[in-house]
Amino acid sequence: AQSVTQLGSHVSVSEGALVLLRCNYSSSVPPYLFWYVQYPNQGLQLLLKYTSAATLVKGINGFEAEFKKSETSFHLTKPSAHMSDAAEYFCAVSVWGYQKVTFGTGTKLQVIP
């Protein structure tokens, strides 16, 4: 079975600083990987997804993630944090031919002015 591990349940960054949220996956077959975001009092929405086309994936709001097979990682980055980025971020995994999507435990991002 596939799984994801998110390192750090809480991350704080200053406004304008680099955002780095970590996700490592475990899968016996090539995975599909996702980052979802949950803003306060809103539902989860997709930030970006990796489906084996390109290892560097760009998403909404300036976020991007790089698939690194050798490190089994799919970390989420943004060069410059904005106050509006404060939210909870979830990494998720699925595999070809199987619709089940497994989520990580989430990382809550705090942006300090």
Partner 1 sequence: GAGVSQTPSNKVTEKGKYVELRCDPISGHTALYWYRQSLGQGPEFLIYFQGTGAADDSGLPNDRFFAVRPEGSVSTLKIQRTERGDSAVYLCASSTGGDSGANVLTFGAGSRLTVL
Q: Which residues bind partner 1 (CB under 8 A)?
A: 6, 9, 32, 34, 36, 42-46, 49, 51, 90, 94-106
Nearer to partner 1, 43 or 113 (CB): 43
Q: Identify which of residues 9 and 14 has a Cβ nearer to partner 1 in the complex.
A: 9
Query: Cβ neighbours of residue 107 under 8 Å, at least 6 residues apart?
Result: 6, 7, 8, 9, 10, 11, 21, 22, 88, 89, 90
Residue type, 83: M
Closest separation in Å from C-beta 59 to partner 1:
12
